Amino acid sequence: MAAQTKDKRDQGAAKAVYVYGIMPGDVEIESGTTGVGDPPGEVRVVRSGDLAALVSDVATDRPLGRPADLVAHEELLDASAAELPVLPLRFGAVLSGDEAVAEELLGAHQDEFMTALEQLEGHAEYVLRGRYVEDAILREVISEDPDARQLLGQIKSVGKANEMATRELRMQIGEIINDAVAIKRQADTLAAGEALAGHVEASVARPPTHELDAVHVALFVENSKADDVERAVEQLSSDWNGRIDLRLLGPMAAYDFVGAPNPAAGA
């Protein structure tokens, strides 16, 4: 009975159209592909001229924003970007219906979107992420900074048993380490850029999301050079072995290298 009640509620709920991204007009979507929402809506294509948008229905009485919604949004666009140019829209882009998508979004921005897709053709975004190995970077900072070594010696002489007496000392050494890591992050981000020069067409440094972040850079890569980028990252990872753990993520939609209007939220 509960399931029947939920089905009736779904049938009567007001619907809007969620827009994921814009692609060339000849795109096809595999039947049964689902996207955001609870329950997830089936993804379909809305076309206008030489453009198409991937969309799905969402209930207007249930707010989006669950982690599963964001994952569904990104996974759909990233999977598409591996096959063809994708102009991603911001998470949460909603319009009143298919007609609004065709006329107010695609039709109104036909030339702008076509130009953007032409620039994206044959390219994808990758993200290089690196995090310092904590023990290694602490040893590096302390070996290079006499003030840090002096504070560490004072902390050891007082002993762990008297935490109150060492609190100020630990705060001071923490500030030294944080400042040193920030300087090293800038230098290592620059070194990564130099190592990838000639293999990427553009790059954007992203802000750190963790105190031990070493490198966080978005890369705009021509598909034919993806293998070159991977080899350069492998060499960099080897050079930094035991100091920085590196990961290369992608291909994905070019979130950091395009801009698109965000349809007003709501129907």
Asked if the model's pLDDT at residue 261 lies above 70, the reply is no
Share of the chain above pLDDT 70, in %: 90
Domain ranges, ordered by start, for the chain: 2-121, 125-252
Which residue type occupies 176? I
pLDDT tens string 118-147? 999 999 999 999 999 999 999 999 999 999
Asked if the model's pLDDT at residue 156 lies above 90, the reply is no
Question: What Å distances lie between residue 242 and 138, 219, 239, CA to CA?
Answer: 12, 24, 9
How far is it between the farthest Cα atoms of the chain? 75
Question: What Å distances lie between residue 151 and 42, 107, 134, 141, 167, CA to CA?
Answer: 60, 65, 19, 13, 11
Point out the least confidently predicted range of 34-38, 65-69, 81-85, 262-266. Answer: 262-266
CA-CA distance, 84 to 197, in Å (whole number)? 25
State residue 64's pLDDT score: 83
State residue 185's pLDDT score: 97
CA-CA distance, 196 to 248, in Å (whole number)? 12
State residue 5's pLDDT score: 40
Mean pLDDT (whole number) for 65-90: 92
Mean pLDDT (whole number) for 243-263: 85
* Residue 152 vs residue 136, higher pLDDT: 136
Which two tokens mark 220?
């705009």
Asked if the model's pLDDT at residue 263 lies above 80, the reply is no
Asked if the model's pLDDT at residue 103 lies above 60, the reply is yes
Of 96, 80, 97, 98, the residue nearest 88 (C-alpha)? 80
Asked if the model's pLDDT at residue 181 lies above 60, the reply is yes
State residue 102's pLDDT score: 97
pLDDT-based confidence at residue 160 (cuts at 50, 70, 90): low
State residue 9's pLDDT score: 43
Q: What's this model's pTM, rounded to 2 decimal places?
A: 0.83
Asked if the model's pLDDT at residue 260 lies above 80, the reply is no
pLDDT-based confidence at residue 96 (cuts at 50, 70, 90): very high
Of 259, 26, 24, the residue nearest 122 (C-alpha)? 24
Half-sphere exposure of 18 (CA within 13 A, CB side): 27
Mode of pairing for the β-strands spanning 123-132 and 94-95: unpaired
Torsions phi, psi for 88 (to 5 deg): -75, 140
State residue 245's pLDDT score: 97
Q: Name the 3-class secondary structure at 50.
A: coil
- Element (H or E) spanning 148, and its range? helix 146-158
Of 43, 23, 13, 20, the residue nearest 92 (C-alpha)? 20
- What integer best gives the mean pLDDT of the chain? 89
* Residue 258 vs residue 13, higher pLDDT: 258
Asked if the model's pLDDT at residue 190 lies above 90, the reply is yes
For the chain, what's the residue count? 267
Dihedral (Cα; 29, 113, 96, 60), 10-degree rounding: 70
Torsions phi, psi for 52 (to 5 deg): -140, 155
Point out the least confidently predicted range of 11-15, 30-34, 162-166. Answer: 11-15
Dihedral (Cα; 130, 134, 138, 144), 10-degree rounding: -20
CA-CA distance, 53 to 25, in Å (whole number)? 8
